[in-house]
Amino acid sequence: MVFPEAYVPGYPVWIWRLRPEADYELTSAIHRELLANSVDLVADGLRPLRDAAAELGVVVVCGIPGREQLFPDQDEWLNPGDSVVVAPGGEIVAGPLHEEHGLLFADVEPARVAAAHRTLDVAGHYSRNDIFHLTINRTVSRPVIYQPAQQI
């Protein structure tokens, strides 16, 4: 049995159509519910699914957003690697901090940031109008067309 990605607990793909500022309370509430209903692996949250699969003798494939625990121990918040601030071109402009708490500061040049969005526009999902375009076909079409097999 194969279930869609994030079938448990479900995923409201339309959440990305909400407005970041105006719908902040709504998106916060939705994310709280998603986290509360995500599969807790430490508490063996997949046991009912595993038991049902074993009883029926089937293999189950189900992509889940899992969680092990909500708040890690204080020591787990400490980055065992390095923390740095990196400019859009890859230059390290502050840090690194290695296995220590601290603040890193850097000056931001808005013109460089805007130009860097051309390479990774996280707000527009690669909105490169030089290579992508959207065309909407407004003609009415039938969703299914049945064609009987031809005799050979």
pLDDT tens per residue, range 127-136: 666 776 778 8
Q: Residue 19: which residues within 8 A CB-CB, separation 6 or more?
A: none
Residue 89 forms part of a structural domain:
no
Q: Give the range of the structural domain holding residue 26, as residue numbers without chain letter.
A: 1-70
Q: How many domains is the chain partitioned into structurally?
A: 1
The answer as to whether 122 is a domain residue is no
Q: Is 76 a member of any domain?
A: no
What confidence category does residue 68 fall into, taking pLDDT thresholds of 50, 70 and 90? low
DSSP SS3 for 152: coil
Do the domain assignments include residue 133? no
Report the percent of the chain where pLDDT is more than 70: 78
Average pLDDT over residues 60-67: 80
pLDDT at 118: 57
CA pair distance 103, 85, nearest whole angstrom: 10
